[in-house]
Structure 1
Amino acid sequence: MLSTSFSQALPVFMQGLVLCFGLIVAIGAQNAFLLRQGLRREHVVPLVLFCALADALLISAGVLGMAQALGAHPGFAQAMALAGAAFLAWYGWQALQRARHASQLQAADGGPGLSRGAALAQVAAFTLLNPHVYLDTVMLMGSIGAQQPAGLRGWFIAGASIASLVWFCGLGFGARWLAPLFAKPRAWQVLDGLIGLTMWTLAVLLLQHALAPASV
């Protein structure tokens, strides 16, 4: 019974993990700010915790809220699955387009140090005032996670939350090691290529789920 339960939970956990990684790894203000603070070794712990906790709460709210919405409107589930597949396909195409061009993530150097409150206020603005964070966590991950069986939704949320925590920990605590890598355009081209292929794979799986005959 345990092995059967684990065999069912692991793919759902991995789907949440991989999807979150694909969405969160990007050149953006939040990541650049956290990388900067990591290089300065300034308030890294509270900043990492804030970013990871914000993602976990938004993903949980998205999955649970979408589950309630889909439960009230069963026909809406297929439409959301098709929309999710289309978005993942578009996101994958965008990542592959980025892979064709050089880009890099650089943390701003210099400038005065920040108090803990000021640093948290800045990272909160970068996180919560970015409309894409709600599209990614609440809408996309919420709609995909909500279509998992009720007993497995927690595994999806756990996988996504762990991906977020690992990424932000690596960015904050491993900044001195990661900064030279992220400053290399080639590294981002390879990463974007992998993200693009992964998003397309997830899009195909979601499309198959959307078009599968409903079980009786």
Structure 2
Amino acid sequence: MVRELARPGILTRGVCYGFEFVNVEKPYESYSGANVRLRCYLRVTVVKRLSDLVKEQDICVHTLAQYPDLNSSIKMEVGIEDCLHIEFEYNKSKYHLKDVIVGKIFFLLVRIKIRHMEVQIIRRELAGSGPAALNESETLAKFEIMDGAPVRGESIPIRLFLSGYDLTPSMRDVNKKFSVKYYLNLVLVDEEERRYFKQQVELSFTSVMLLLYE
């Protein structure tokens, strides 16, 4: 949208011009990533004879969502045949940006000398499509949840506070240009620094309007 603020003339002193943009659609959340930047901004242009003067001011767009009606838990069994069998469970699959991920890891079979276990928050940004598509992954956080060898039947709790990390809402095929997805990695490392298991669980992050009651 464009507004003309002044007729052609000469400026000899400071002048203030008022303007207003009414009912401007801003359907997308502001985002700045590795290969993508989605901006909403004001641009002021003073047209001169030789070269124009241009000034831009970014406007941060924050899209609020509602709590999902259905937010099922995540439960999976994975492992290595005759060596390791674990079951992990997370309390839900959709989180707001200040939420807490709560879960448990159950060891059903352990025949590997595990040294420690950690969870990682991974952001994956996909820009473009076809052969020219850019796929960028970034590890935002590593959180050690176990130090030492587990035994069969042991249960390890997980409580990961999201407010301390630089997260954005999950974005899917924004204007058919890019997507941003988040994953939770579960990583087990043995005494020789070998990684026996790495499983990615997709999480959905949203900006949720919180309603506070007395």
TM-score calculated relative to the size of structure 1: 0.21
Higher strand share: 2
Higher helix share: 1
Which protein, 1 or 2, shows the higher relative CO under an 8 Å CA cutoff with sep ≥ 6? 1
